[in-house]
Amino acid sequence: MASRTVCSGAVLGALVAALLASPAHAVEHRPGTAAAPDALPAPDTAALGTLLRTALKQGAPGAMARIDDHRLSYDDHATVYTATEGVADRGSGDWISTADRFRIGSVTKTFSAVVLLQLAAEGRVKLDDPVNHYLPGLLPDDRITVRHVLSHRSGLYDYADELFARTVPGFEAVRTKVFTYRQLLALSLKHPRTQAPGAAYAYSNTNFVVVGMLIEKLTGHPVRTAYENRVIRPLKLNDTFYVHPATKIPGRYARGYLTPDEAASPPVDATEQTMSWAQSAGALISSTRDLNTFFSALLGGRLLPPAQLAQMERWIPAGTGQAYGLGLRRRDLSCGVSVYGHTGAVQGYYTYAFTSKDGRRSLAALANTSNNGPVQRTMLRTLESAFCGKRTKALGATDLPGTATENDLAQ
């Protein structure tokens, strides 16, 4: 039987002064962000619960959300709101919990961008240099820069479009497969480029495969090591893992269910897979708590120096009510508030993880289904409840920002 809880309480903020003792890439937050009171309206937790119940009616086995609200500073006691509906496991009937881990899909892209921008801060890569300067002969066009791949303006075809043209057969074909980065890039380069380098935003997982290759070239280590040393350990993200090519999620987790393209077909349990088809574009595992900690730290200036964070926030149009920077998405809400983060759509999971401009209010929300447009649009509305509160305007389908398809792993 499905359960629901909505609660609030004070817990110690995850970002404490100890973070500043982490490796050299960690920096102090931007001046002025800690003293001003939070002007956001209170979250509408009743509306949040209603949205999660709606997601269940639309086919999600379970849905959950967590809001961390640091009212005065990152080091104060945060107010935490949690809401859960439904089950983490359709077989056992175990209730879903905000303590559950899950696959975060393309939210991984922000982690990858942070690592590469830290390397830029260290002088090890220049954003406007050609990718081929660091990986000679890798790409067919010397004009494609590091900035272009981070902002989805390279023109490289998204290999996932071909892999998942048919949702379930495509997934089953790669579920246990192990790819190299170069094999994934080769899948892309079989196709013509979609546009000239530096043109408009055009989402492609291929871009962040290239980002992963750059990270490994520049550091001399696997991306797992870069994530762990530069983000996971400094922020004490105890629920965040890069296990590729292992197929299991460590510890307590929510199972993920992929909706087939054929109507009335039963959902496919997609929990266990190598995630090799995504890697630095989408293979991380995390939790709502860790995602809120991560995005609060990022927008609060604790992961990047001001110059690199400013580069990350150089926005280009990316659809109605949204813009894209360098591995970071901005969504503009109905109440005039903008929020910053990323979405993730990987087989079995829809994730929304966003924070306020100052990083002091963060939302992470999950539904353990995918290839289900109505659920995806409903989960998008959790941003309104979390950041606009009761100021949320009535939104129709045409008012919602563009959402991802299953093929692009999560826009």
Select from 276, 270, 63, 285 the least CA-distant residue to 167.
Answer: 270
**Cβ(100)–Cβ(88) under 8 Å?**
yes
Do the Cβ atoms of 51 and 378 come closer than 8 Å? yes
Strand order, beta sheet including 77-86? 3-12, 77-86, 62-69, 361-367, 349-355, 338-346, 329-332, 322-324, 316-317
Dihedral sign computed on CA atoms, order 19, 360, 62, 370: negative
- Confirm if 400 and 373 have CB atoms less than 8 A apart: no
Instruction: Quote the Cα angle for 363-208-310, to 5°.
Output: 60
First to last CA, the chain: 33
Among residues 8, 92, 97, 106, which one is catalytic?
106
* CA separation for the pair 172, 177 (Å, rounded): 9
* Backbone φ, ψ for residue 100 (5° rounding): -75, 140
For the chain, helix (H) and strand (E) counts, in that order, are: 13, 14
Please indicate whether residue 276 is annotated as part of the active site: no
What distance in Å separates the CA atoms of residue 65 and residue 51, rounded to the nearest whole number? 10
Contact 214, 135 (CB under 8 A): yes
Strand 285-286 to strand 316-317: parallel, antiparallel, or no bridges (unpaired)?
unpaired
Q: What are phi and psi of 48, to 5 degrees?
A: -60, -45
Q: Name the DSSP class of 390.
A: G
Q: Give bridge partners of residue 144 from the DSSP assignment.
A: none
**Catalytically annotated residues:** 106
